[in-house]
Amino acid sequence: MSKLLRQSFVLLLLMTVITGVLYPLAATGLAQLIFPHQANGSLVERDGKPVGSALIGQSFTDPKYFWGRPSATAPNPYNASASSASNQGPTNPALADAVKQRIAALRAADPGNAAPVPVDLVTASGSGLDPQISPAAAQYQLARVARLRHMDVARVRSLVQRCTQGRQLGLLGEPRVDVLKLNLALDAGAP
């Protein structure tokens, strides 16, 4: 028994050093050497200063920007230091109420638009930090953004296309539009 205990103890110590210290250090060293940009959060810069991460969404509520997915993080949406989802069940009345409010807000920002709203634009994402919306959700907001920025619709559409990624390797995942990248491109093109 005491022999087993001693063996357990020393083996746990050695394994802690190997898997808990050497392994993450080796992974960090290699990652920083080969993929430094990604390993440090894929930061996006404007005029040499970081303005966010390409992978983490930000809150956009101004109608002249494209809006992202609703976010359920607390206390404010897109709080990157406390990722969370709504966890509302499908029959929870609070979910239907929240969706109604989001539809109302979208319609208020764009009174002429009576098209059905793409589902990802009115449902909270899993992380609360989803950086992307579906191409359908971008299309839905296109006319509004162009009008409020006094830009040509075709011009905005080409910016949207530039910020759209197809399925990875032509098969995996879903087509998607990077909201932060798109809004930065809009700001750069037309203030």
Partner 1 sequence: MTTNDYLQLGLYLVVLLLLVKPLGSYMAHVFADAPNRVTRFGGRVERAIYRLCGIAPDEDMGWKRYALAVLLFNLLGLLAVYALQRLQGWLPLNPQHFGAVSADSSMNTAISFASNTNWQGYGGESTMSYLTQMLGLAVQNFLSAATGIAVLVALVRGFARRSATGIGNFWVDLTRSTLYLLLPLSLLLSLLLVSQGVVQNFKPYVDVPVVQASSYSTTAKDAAGHEVTTQAVVTSQTLPMGPAASQIAIKQLGTNGGGFFNVNSAHPFENPTPLSNFLELLSILLIPSALCYTFGQMVGDRRQGWSLLAVMLVIFIPLLLACTAAEQAGNPLLAHLGVDQHASALQAGGNMEGKETRFGIADSTLWATATTAASNGSVNAMHDSFTPLGGLVPMWLMQLGEVIFGGVGSGLYGMLAFAVVAVFIAGLMVGRTPEYLGKKIEAYEMKMASLAVLLPCALVVIGTAIAVMVPAGVAGVANPGAHGFSEMLYAVSSASNNNGSAFGGLSANTPFWNVLLGACMFLARFPLIVAMLAMAGGLAAKRHVPESAGTLPTHTPLFVTLLACVVIVVGALTFLPALALGPIAEQLMSAMGH
- Find the part of the chain contacting partner 1 (CB under 8 A) among 131-139, 142-150, 151-159: 131-139
Q: Does 189 bind partner 1 (CB under 8 A)?
A: no
Measured distance CA(146)–CA(188) in Å, rounded: 14
Query: Per rule CB under 8 A, is residue 109 in the interface with partner 1?
Result: no
- 167: contact with partner 1 by CB under 8 A: yes
Give Cβ neighbours of residue 69 (< 8 Å, ≥ 6 apart). Answer: 57, 120, 121, 123, 124, 125, 130, 132, 133
Count of residues that interact with partner 1, criterion CB under 8 A: 110
Confirm or reject binding of residue 158 to partner 1 (CB under 8 A). no
Residue 61 near partner 1 by CB under 8 A = yes
Site for partner 1 in 16-55 (CB under 8 A): 16, 18-21, 23-24, 26-28, 30-32, 34-35, 38-43, 49-55
Instruction: Select from 47, 150, 162, 171 the one that contacts partner 1 (CB under 8 A).
Output: 171
Q: Does position 190 bind partner 1 by CB under 8 A?
A: no
162 binds partner 1 (CB under 8 A): no
Contact pick of 48, 111, 150, 172 for partner 1 (by CB under 8 A): 172
77-96 residues near partner 1, rule: CB under 8 A: 77-93, 95-96
Backbone angles phi, psi at 186, to 5 degrees: -65, -45
Using the minimum distance from each CB to partner 1, give the nearer residue, 5 or 154.
5
Using CB under 8 A, which of 63, 65, 149, 160 touches partner 1?
65
Residue type, 121: L
Residues 174, 167 contacting (CB under 8 angstroms): yes
Contact 133, 176 (CB under 8 A): yes
CA 19, 24, 26, 30: dihedral to nearest 10 degrees?
150
Of positions 47, 48, 111, 169, contacts partner 1 by CB under 8 A:
169
Separation between Cα atoms, residue 20 and residue 170, nearest integer Å:
37
- Collapsed DSSP state (helix, strand, coil) of residue 66: coil
Which amino acid belongs to residue 72? A
